[in-house]
Amino acid sequence: MSIQTNVQTSATPLGRDELAALVARDIAPGSFVNLGIGQPTLVSNYLSEEQNITLHTENGMLGMGPEAHGDEIDGDLINAGKIPVTELPGASYFHHADSFAIMRGGHLDICVLGAFQVSATGDLANWHTGAPDAIPAVGGAMDLATGAKDVFVMMTLLTRDGASKLVEQCSYPLTGVGCVTRVYTDKAVFLTGPDGVSVRETFGCTLEELQALVPVPLKAVAAVGV
């Protein structure tokens, strides 16, 4: 497919659920996946049975099922966000060092994380605002960012003040260096790497309109059918 200057695939920006559905469709069948706390958790609602995805939760489980309700709630069975969850047939439990070895050893195919900022070369900032009075808490963010084969970020493109979260260099403290491979936002899907930023598709704007919002040079890649 030839390089296009207009890669718009939706007439309007995507809502949180539409974006989650798009991420879910992009996950290859059979993958082992960790979904971060917050918006990435929505992705699990759109994974199909045919995809045969195994979800990892870093507190020590593969084969995590949906959130538990009512009688299913068991205080010994929670996810990384400390929400009660269920186990699927074929699930496994392991201790924390094994669970992080699954990430750190490069065994996870994809992790999906939220972000404050992503840089043009895939640096990630998602754990700390850097505010002097903030109590820092990192959890597994740095391990996830560094260990998974692919790191997808889900975020709104702009802050409430209209500033781009895709930036030349992160101003917030880093979680990982050059680790993000894709950024899913309400306005576009970006591919990041050492060669800069490509736009796979846009939602509700043209590439030119997108470029006006984002302070890093963008280039189009051929739209990928999903």
Partner 1 sequence: MLNFIDTVGEAVADIKDGSTVMIGGFGNAGQPFELIDALLDSGATDLTVVNNNAGQGDQGLALLIKEGRVRKMICSFPRQSDSWHFDTKFKAGEIELELVPQGNLAERIRAAGAGIGAFFTPTGYGTMLAEGKETRLLDGKWQVFETPIHADVALIKALKADRKGNLVYRKTARNFGPIMAAAAKHTIAQVSEIVPIGALDPENVVTPGIYVNSIVKVA
Neighbours of 224 (CB within 10 A): 13
Residue among 18, 58, 67, 87 flagged as catalytic:
58
Interface with partner 1, residue 181, by CB under 8 A: no
Residues from 160 through 179 that contact partner 1 (CB under 8 A) = 173-177
**Terminal C-alpha separation, the chain:** 14
Residues from 81 through 120 that contact partner 1 (CB under 8 A) = 82, 87, 93-97, 99-101, 103-104
Shortest Cβ distance from residue 47 to partner 1 (Å)?
Answer: 21
- State the Cα–Cα distance between residues 44 and 99, nearest whole angstrom: 20
Out of 8, 39, 44, 57, name the contact with partner 1 by CB under 8 A: 57
- State the Cα–Cα distance between residues 9 and 12, nearest whole angstrom: 9
Interface with partner 1, residue 189, by CB under 8 A: no
Which helix (H) or strand (E) is 197 found in, with range?
Answer: strand 196-203
- State the Cα–Cα distance between residues 153 and 145, nearest whole angstrom: 10
Q: 128: Cβ–Cβ under 8 A, 6 or more apart, which residues? A: 134, 136, 137, 138, 172, 173
- State the Cα–Cα distance between residues 38 and 175, nearest whole angstrom: 17
Region near partner 1 per CB under 8 A, out of 15-23, 53-61, 184-192, 209-217: 53-61
Residues from 144 through 163 that contact partner 1 (CB under 8 A) = 146-147
Residue closer to partner 1 (CB basis): 99 or 164: 99
Shortest Cβ distance from residue 99 to partner 1 (Å)?
Answer: 7
HSE, side-chain direction, 13 A CA sphere, residue 221: 14
Interface with partner 1, residue 74, by CB under 8 A: yes
Catalytically active residues are 58
Which residues lie near partner 1 (CB under 8 A)?
57-61, 74-78, 82, 87, 93-97, 99-101, 103-104, 123, 128, 133-143, 146-147, 173-177
